[in-house]
A and B are shown apart, each in its own frame.
Chain A
Amino acid sequence: MRRRNKGTEPTIRVSKFASVNAVVVEGVSKKFEIPHEVSHTLKERALHPFRRTRKDILQALRDVSFTVEKGEFFGVVGRNGSGKSTLLKLMAGIYRSDAGTIGIAGRLSTFIELGVGFNPDLAAEDNIVLNGVMLGLSPREARRRADSVIGFAGLDEFTDLKLKNYSSGMLVRLAFSVMVQVDADVLLIDEVLAVGDAAFQQKCFDEFNRIRDQGRTVLLVTHAMSAVERFCDRAMLLERGRVVDIGEPNRIANEYLDVNFRQERSAERQPEKEPDRFGDQRAEIVEAWFEDEHGMRTSQLHTGRRCAFAARVHFNEPIDDPLFGFVLQNSQKTTVLQASTLDQGRMTGSYGPGDEIEFRISFDNVFAPDRYFATPAVARGGGMIAWIDRRERFASVVVTGTRDTDAVVDIPFQIAIDREGVRA
């Protein structure tokens, strides 16, 4: 997998296009009116001429301001309903803003959906022209580019095939090729990368990089934090129509994960008051946290590094040889790690009332990016384990990483390919 070298490339680029703004968004607001009783017919209007339809006002964007420099790869992230797609549509001129100004330098192309206006009954070439014209090319330009579009999509053998006979993968490739062949100075892209296989996605990003290296500007709206971290120069986090933060993609991605999971967790936990606490509390787990490789407390851990989970325990009564341990679960409640002093087969000593200890479990963070919840526990050892104190999902941590993986863990690996007989 090719990765952009973040160390050197941007510096060259920035000096080349020293802070020329390609996009200026200034104080933009947008609200939608959602009528409660939609009167769709004249008859309804005639029967109830004075009935005022109650309307819900949905404030999709509030006073959003930001600038994007020429040649920048700018990410816009936010949860569903945060207003990011509305922002894109305002910039594209599909909606009209209620307040504020949007300025765009140069030709703009928007890709809210791949292959808008594709007709299944037409051959690829006709569709390229159609799509190209929709996106702002003149018919002649669009026709001229048809060959290179088909070439880029790798569909030379299927030029005359009607689109309805294309596989979905071929369709995506064709649509993407049309998109990149439109010479826009500013590209607005909404989630189009959710489609296509990994290889194609990589090709897309390579292409975005090429476009960006030509001094063109890309705005990408996405949920894929790995994409934001890998490709964006800067990113913006939207939440309920407001700009939460603009800055380093890494930081924004973490904030996004934080916002996202905080919401989830508060929804899960708020109703009852800690129902998930077990044991007789003869000793209490007072506090629990995660530490990074330097032993600093943190709420974010980078995958692939050493880290630790720690908890502070306060003893109310004398206890001999208690067990300390914890269970780590991801957001899907899959247990990814269980560790306790029981596994070490070690005596932990005797404690009296008022004693406080910290136990620390360090491990290699091989987990995939997600939010993880830790359940620490103190238990009586012996034949049967009995909880002294166990606090379900008491601490949490966000693991960040740059590799996009569907796996639960992200273990470092090497791949070797040997032809038969080479080794012998």
Chain B
Amino acid sequence: MSTVEMPAEMRIVQGPSALGDDPRRFVALTRTLTLTDFKLKFYGSALGYLWQLVRPLLLFGILLFVFTNFIKFGKVPHYEVLLLLAIVLYSFVAEGVSNAVDSVVAREPLVRKVQFPRLVIPATVVATAFLNLLLNLVAVFVFAAIRDVQPQWQWFELPLILLLMVMLASGAAMLVSCLFVRYRDVKPITDVLLQALFYGTPIFYPVERIEPTLRHLLVMLNPFAAIIQAAKHAFVPSAMTAAEAAGGTVNLLVPLAIILGLFVLGFYVFNKEAPRIAEEL
């Protein structure tokens, strides 16, 4: 092999990766693609953003009707506000993860023809879902004001809770989006798991109604249950805290570890698959 002089300013082409070598490009791309997606979604519909609210509101209406007329949980302060809050938070996770599943495959033309950090794709999906969440939360606050929920200092806990939830959704999104490239049955599995998550999380039922041992187990093993309960308590202080629901503050380390673990696992798998994604599509 002949030796060719490599000038100092030569950049060695490494091939595709999850993050790329320029963080600014990663952020710029994610931002531009997210805003474009967001813009397109509301494009050409007169009511625009309102449609985004219709789905959670419809679910909210049905559940509220069922659980205030057919089945009753007894006296739960601000049941309807907490129900709407929980549904909006669940919608974020469900939207983020289920849209992430086929996101990489759907963007095939880009993946095969342009060099860009591959992680931008699931990141865009989660970011779009997050923008929707922020808008939906505005509706929750408006509804809360109408139903006389008093503003609380605990509301400032919400950003931290949202951050943990974004981490949870991102971890799952990274994992499913790259696994789907190889295994197409990731999609039905994800759908079923998200459905299970809906019932396995105190969304329409108050966590206080569950028998203590089972409750502790549920909140420890389902990190989303811990997040929802923490959010409910932050919103309406009379609701049980996540620590109480888990049977002690120390027990909350388990869901926290699961969230971090899923995030790390998701990133690890995605990062490992990233260089070959374009070939396997």
Q: Is B272 an interface residue (CB 8 A)?
A: no
Q: With A21-B7, A24-B10 as given contacts, are A130 and B32 in contact (CB-CB < 8 Å)?
A: yes
Q: With A103-B6, A105-B7, A134-B116 as given contacts, are A116 and B16 in contact (CB-CB < 8 Å)?
A: no
Measured between beta carbons, the chain B residues less than 8 angstroms from A139 are: 28, 31-32
Measured between beta carbons, the chain A residues less than 8 angstroms from B6 are: 21, 24, 101, 103
Q: With A116-B109, A117-B110, A121-B44 as given contacts, are A110 and B115 in contact (CB-CB < 8 Å)?
A: yes
Q: Is B192 an interface residue (CB 8 A)?
A: no
Q: Is A279 an interface residue (CB 8 A)?
A: no
Closest to B179 in A: A42
Q: Is B237 an interface residue (CB 8 A)?
A: no
Q: A105 to B114, Cβ gap below 8 A?
A: no
Chain A window 33-53, contacts with chain B (Cβ cutoff 8 Å), 1 for yes, 0 for no: 000000011110100000000
Separation of A21 and B4 alpha carbons in the complex (Å): 10
Q: Is B147 an interface residue (CB 8 A)?
A: no
Choose from B40, B183, B278 the contact partner of A94 (Cβ within 8 Å).
B278
Separation of A20 and B13 alpha carbons in the complex (Å): 18
Main secondary structure on chain A at its contact with chain B?
mixed
Q: A116 to B185, Cβ gap below 8 A?
A: no
Q: Is B159 an interface residue (CB 8 A)?
A: no
Q: Is B112 an interface residue (CB 8 A)?
A: yes
Q: Count residues on chain B whose CB falls below 8 Å from chain A CBs.
A: 42
Q: B184 to A106, Cβ gap below 8 A?
A: no
The residues in A between 140 and 184 inclusive whose CB is less than 8 angstroms from any CB of B are: none
Q: B114 to A116, Cβ gap below 8 A?
A: yes
Measured between beta carbons, the chain A residues less than 8 angstroms from B15 are: 90, 93-97
Closest to A117 in B: B110
Choose from B5, B44, B110 the contact partner of A21 (Cβ within 8 Å).
B5
Chain A window 248-283, contacts with chain B (Cβ cutoff 8 Å), 1 for yes, 0 for no: 000000000000000000000000000000000000
Measured between beta carbons, the chain B residues less than 8 angstroms from A65 are: 1-2, 4
Chain A window 45-72, contacts with chain B (Cβ cutoff 8 Å), 1 for yes, 0 for no: 1000000000000000000010100000
Q: With A93-B15, A119-B36, A133-B28 as given contacts, are A67 and B9 in contact (CB-CB < 8 Å)?
A: no
Measured between beta carbons, the chain A residues less than 8 angstroms from B10 are: 21, 24, 103-105
Chain B window 181-193, contacts with chain A (Cβ cutoff 8 Å), 1 for yes, 0 for no: 0111100000000
Separation of A97 and B279 alpha carbons in the complex (Å): 11
Most buried by B among A26, A90, A117: A117
Chain A window 82-94, contacts with chain B (Cβ cutoff 8 Å), 1 for yes, 0 for no: 0000000111111
Q: A94 to B115, Cβ gap below 8 A?
A: yes
Q: With A67-B4, A95-B278 as given contacts, are A135 and B114 in contact (CB-CB < 8 Å)?
A: yes
Q: B183 to A122, Cβ gap below 8 A?
A: no
Q: Is B14 an interface residue (CB 8 A)?
A: yes
Give min CB distance, A50 to chain B, whole Å.
18
Q: Is A405 an interface residue (CB 8 A)?
A: no
Q: B28 to A93, Cβ gap below 8 A?
A: no
Separation of A27 and B4 alpha carbons in the complex (Å): 11
Q: A129 to B112, Cβ gap below 8 A?
A: no
Measured between beta carbons, the chain A residues less than 8 angstroms from B278 are: 89, 94-95
Measured between beta carbons, the chain B residues less than 8 angstroms from A121 are: 40, 43-44
Separation of A106 and B10 alpha carbons in the complex (Å): 7
Q: Is A359 an interface residue (CB 8 A)?
A: no
| 15 residue pairs bridging A and B, Cβ less than 8 Å apart | A21-B5, A32-B279, A67-B4, A90-B13, A92-B13, A93-B16, A95-B15, A97-B15, A103-B6, A106-B9, A110-B115, A113-B109, A116-B113, A122-B39, A130-B32
Q: 6 tightest CB-CB pairs across the interface, nearest first?
A: A96-B15, A103-B10, A93-B115, A102-B13, A112-B113, A96-B275
Interface residues of B (CB under 8 A from A): 1-2, 4-7, 9-16, 24-25, 28-29, 31-33, 36, 39-40, 43-44, 109-116, 182-185, 275-276, 278-279
Interface residues of A (CB under 8 A from B): 20-21, 24, 26-27, 32, 40-43, 45, 65, 67, 89-97, 101-106, 110, 112-113, 116-117, 119, 121-122, 126, 129-130, 133-136, 138-139
